[in-house]
A and B are shown apart, each in its own frame.
Chain A
Amino acid sequence: MALELRDVTKRFGSHVAVNRLNLKVEEGELFGLLGANGAGKTTTMRMILGLLAPTEGEITWFGRRMGYDLSHQIGYLPEERGLYPKLKVEEQLVYLARLRGMEKRKAQRQLREWLERFHVSHYADKRVEELSKGNQQKIQFITAVLHQPKLLILDEPFSGLDPVNVELLKKAVLDLKEQGTTILFSSHRMEHVEELCRTLCILRNGEAVLQGDLAQIKRSYGKKTVRLRMAAEWPDLAAIQGVERVHRTALGYEVKVRDEAVAQTILQEALKVGEVTGFSLEEPSLHEIFIEKVGAAYDEGGGEGE
């Protein structure tokens, strides 16, 4: 196992930020770490980076405890972006890569490739403060990957980017994964996580409420969505056993059902009510799973707005 967290707990005084967390990330895997604001994602990432020591438990990278001796193997893109505003892009990136143990010439060579890839070569001699927010974000991403880390930690990598640049960065992330980089990825955009991650963990109040293979999670989740296209009104739809929620749409109904068997019952009953022009059974989206698993924390007052 590349990255492993065993029974990791982090307390700040009486406050428990992360509670008995267990994670296993294989080499070359793109792992999603999800959670509402204040769920403990950043604390977990900082512990993995070795910036915070766990109160209990152990974090290892290929069996070695995390610490500054491994910092050259790790790349980090923090959610709160930060660069020296007065320093020129090339000077800054080469310096930060050297702090991660990379040779100067190699860093300069790699940097040229990355700048070209992100179409920002002409900014190499500009100060960071002169760049647009989107371009600063690209530079920040290069900071995290320039020294060719084996473990890459990305905290909200796509926030604030336009769709074109999101695709550019997404492609870069997938290429790094293909090259064998282990990536821990955090985002509030569920469609990005669904698209990129095969495995994930959802945190709530510092505890893992769901983790494992995404396809398996969806399959075992049980609840599915039935989409019915029909013009007729069907007020008794919600009364069918196994129907959890009914939503009237312009073209018909969107029905949340407990399992696949309920979908068949609905189809049979619908045909009795009127003409059915369309029927589909869909797996739950990660968004729906997230809302259900994490939404409870807000109801209990455990989550905080951002």
Chain B
Amino acid sequence: MNRKFFLMVGHLYRNKLKSPGFLASVGIMAAVVALLCYLPMIIMGIIERSPKEMQVIGLADRTGDGWATLLTDTNHLPENAPYRLEPVSDSGKQGMDIRELAGEKVASGEWAGILELRDGDESAARPAVEAVYWTDEKDASDVLFFLKQLLNTAAFQQRAQQLGLGQQELAWLDAPLKLEKVALEEGAKDELELNIARAFVYLTVMALYFMLIQYGNMVSTEVVVEKSSRVMEILVSSVPPAQQLFAKVLGVGLLALTQMAIVVLTGVFFFHLADPLGQLDIQLPPLPVELLLVALGYLILGYLLYATLLASLASLVSRLEDAGIIQSPVYIFLVGGFFLTMYGLGSPDSPLVAAASWVPFFTPMVMFLRIGMGMAGTPEVLGSTLLMAVTIAVFVVLGARWYKRGVFRYEPIRGAWRLGRPAANAGGKGDRER
């Protein structure tokens, strides 16, 4: 490493830092983070400003068993219930066409629909009442769920009354059993901790994935732009190609860390200012700092692996559209790692996830998932990280070699696959000099 190397790193870093593309992406990300901090406040504000009007459902009780009294009693309705029931007058009258009445009431907007209660089968296995809900709503799943709960509660009350049970006995009957998981392994996460870890891993892996794509792409674009503008000819006569490659990887890597720092600091600032969890009255455990450091470590390792590989491949072509083609296998690994992680969120102990976490291309995301979910032991973490470090070292050596050959290569993309062979055109302009 010498003065020229850091000169190149600084030049790339400064130029990218003030580029409109970078400023726009950082600005958008910071704005999104700030908005997310204020989101609960915004949503609550909207709810308060426009309280949902309680809808009315007509109740046609044709059983004569006093259901109407039970169901229309608002004391039985859950808190903030979106519906209330109103009895249909003369509903017990024979010959009344409920369908027709529902059509009229719904069309006039007076009611959302009519709940009709009829005498049901008297056999012991089935309730003695049957309910039908008449409406023109296409998707009535919400109201059906509400009515089902309401009817079950009413049925329970009515049967208890018939059995002569008091409130105390009723509460005793209704009391739920307590079920708790106790893990055999000491220090294993409980369900709440696992769910929090799942959410944390999900968000972190998403960020990791997008940063690897964004910055891997930025490094390779830099290489192709220098090749297509032929400024590479000048650069390569001043600084060895391998140094150029690593200056790009380091320069863009610093840019990624800068972006991350800006977004995180913006998030911390607005989080304290807006206090979204306080708004929602949610208590979260303290931030897993160790896990964040592990994520940062995997981001750096993953970036080194993917950026070196993408930049080396980009050096073999001289057009951006060709770069996409030659780099596609690398992106398949990246996307594959992401999908494996998403699968692993549901089955973190799956053998497939365990095996994939050892594949260096997947390690940054999949092993991070396993660490986050408490599924990876220290030997596994160290072993897979070592394997990844060795892979990075191999690709650094190979990448430097490809880059050295690639910078003089301007032939069509099909020629780029001959990585192992010396560039026949390395001595001349285009592919014609001999």
| Interface residues in chain A, defined as those with a beta carbon under 8 Å from any beta carbon in chain B | 10, 12-13, 15, 17-18, 37-40, 42-43, 46, 49-52, 68, 71, 74, 76, 78-85, 87, 95-96, 98-101, 143, 205-206, 304, 306
Contact = CB atoms under 8 A, between A and B. Distances in A.
A38 B238 contact: no
22 contacts: A12-B422, A12-B425, A12-B426, A15-B434, A17-B433, A17-B434, A18-B427, A37-B433, A40-B427, A42-B429, A51-B237, A52-B426, A71-B239, A78-B233, A82-B233, A83-B229, A83-B231, A84-B226, A95-B11, A96-B234, A99-B239, A304-B434
A76 B236 CA distance: 11
B15 interface: yes
B99 interface: no
A269 B424 CA distance: 56
- Please report whether the interface of chain A is mostly helix, strand, loop or mixed according to DSSP: loop
Interface of B: 4, 7-8, 11, 15, 225-226, 229-240, 408, 421-430, 432-434
A82 B229 contact: yes
A46 B432 CA distance: 15
Contacts, number: 100
Smallest CB-CB A-B distances: 10 pairs: A82-B230, A43-B427, A82-B231, A99-B238, A78-B233, A38-B434, A17-B427, A42-B428, A12-B424, A76-B237
Given A12-B427, A99-B4, 6 more contacts: A17-B434, A40-B434, A68-B239, A79-B429, A96-B238, A306-B432
A170 to B, nearest CB: 22
Contact of B428 (A43, A74, A82): A43
Contacts of A79: 429
Give the one of B429, B432, B434 with max A CB within 10 A: B434
Contacts of B427: 10, 12, 17-18, 40, 42-43, 46, 52
A15 B426 CA distance: 12
Contacts of B421: 13
A84 B231 contact: yes
A16 B207 CA distance: 51
A71 B434 contact: no
Contacts of A49: 237
A95 B235 CA distance: 10
A37 B434 CA distance: 8
A13 B422 contact: yes
Contacts of A10: 427
Contacts of B226: 84
